[in-house]
Structure 1
Amino acid sequence: MVDPYLIFTQIWDRPIMEHIAAETNRYAQQVASQMFPSNNLHPHSRISQWHDTTPDELYVYFGLILAMGIVVKSRIEDYWSSNLDIFYTPGFSAHMSIDRFISLNKCVNNEDMCAQDLDPSEARLFKIKPLLTHLNDKFQSLYTPPRTLLWMKVY
């Protein structure tokens, strides 16, 4: 039997998760440092409560993202709702608070990484280039197609 977790961790291995954690933490510090001088960093804002993420926490975060593709709700908040109705999903809040999820979501999806001195076509891929390289390497090392591939003509 194939273990989905094993497959996931073979593709999204520790080194790439450490890279994502480092970039996420760097971006969170950048956001906080930009907000501080202009007095926009409020004591109760999510970014002021930031603590560095880890690869282990990111595995949970990505697991929740994958679960959201299976359990579809109309709003993010609904996954953490404590209403005991038929749509109750306690697994989300058992693994991460909604505030932490939203903070991670903002910082993992780093919008300000700049690609200076690159032409526009290169700049678009700059941020995801390490992930593309990693995934290409992983897919090539984890899957070897059969010696002969059958090509089917699609009509």
Structure 2
Amino acid sequence: MDGVQLLRLGKRLTDLGRDVVADPSGGTLTPGELAVIGDVFKHPGASVQDIRARTGFAQSHVSTSVQRLRDRGILLAAPDPADGRRTLLTLADQVRRVVHQRAAMPAEQVLSAALSDPGQTARAVALIGELARLLGIPPTEPPAAER
């Protein structure tokens, strides 16, 4: 496997993962918006600057995504008590619950549709699970407040 193949594989897995976790009834979200939601899900109370640093997106891109998500009621903003110039972002409670439910959904159905052979699907699930373990990617867990 070369670097280009690895990038293509990563993109394909990202697309499949998005098919599992994206809520089709929730309207269309851009990949950038999904990344912002994912970051705030993992890091409640994040600032735009925090999200920018973790995602690698330009601050203007993060700010635009955050504003659109705030306008849709997906993100909530509050002033930072330590520094009133900063805004801290959290997911709306209902959105947090939906994201958690969707993130915990098994990927087999999407993989099955992509592969169309039950044997290949089972093998792909096992191989992807093994690769995740080898690369140190932990299983998704609910945030502490939801455990």
Greater percentage in strand: 2
TM-score for the superposition, normalised by structure 2 = 0.37
**Bigger radius of gyration among the two:** 1
Greater percentage in helix: 2
